[in-house]
Each structure stands twice: as C-alpha cells, then as structure tokens.
Amino acid sequence: MRNPQFWPADLPNCSGRLNEVKVARVFNFVDLTGCVLHTIHDPEEQLPIPASGQEVSIGPIRMWVVSVMLSSIGPQTYRVRVRTAEKD
C-alpha cells in the first residue's frame, strides 16, 4: 500500500518525456491570470505553507501571496496565487 504523503508525480522533462518523481508536497505559484510562474517540490515538508499577504521571493522575483488553496492530496499540491511586486 502506498503512503499517501509520498506519492509519485509524473512531470514532463525538457525532452517531453515523463519522469517519475516522489514528492510529499508541491507548491504551484500562479499569477492572477492562472499562469504557473514557478513550481517547488518539497519532499521533506521543510517549507512552511505560505499565508495570504505574505511576501515571498523566488530568485530575483518578489511577490505577495493573494490566496492559498489545497488543490490535490496525492501529493499535497498547493495552488499559491500571487501578484508580482512593482519594479522600483
């Protein structure tokens, strides 16, 4: 029997083939139009779940969390809606 918190996810690689990757949690960061900006795989569940209004940075991109929704339980996948920061 599979552990529901450690479920394989089929992810396309650059060549178009599918790789089987085991992850405990996935965070999909999407903009206000629903386009995926970044995906983070957290196999050890070390990252905190973002909160609404929180500022997050991924590389050089700063953004603010608008909402967080659990969109799947196998693996736990969080859809994190963000708005990007205005350039200074």
Residue-number span of the structural domain to which 33 is assigned: 21-84
Q: With 0.75 as the threshold, say if the pTM is over it.
A: no
66 domain-assigned: yes
Confidence band, pLDDT 50/70/90 cuts, at residue 88: low
13 domain-assigned: no
Q: Which residue has the higher pLDDT, 77 or 23?
A: 77
In the structure encoding, which two tokens stand for residue 7, read together? 């479920």
pLDDT, tens only, 37-75: 999 999 999 999 999 999 999 888 899 999 999 998 888
Residues whose CB is less than 8 angstroms from the CB of residue 69 and which lie 6 or more positions away in sequence, other chains included:
78, 79, 81
16 domain-assigned: no
Query: What is the spatial distance between Cα 4 and Cα 42, in angstroms, rounded to a whole number?
Result: 15
10 domain-assigned: no
Domain count, the chain: 1
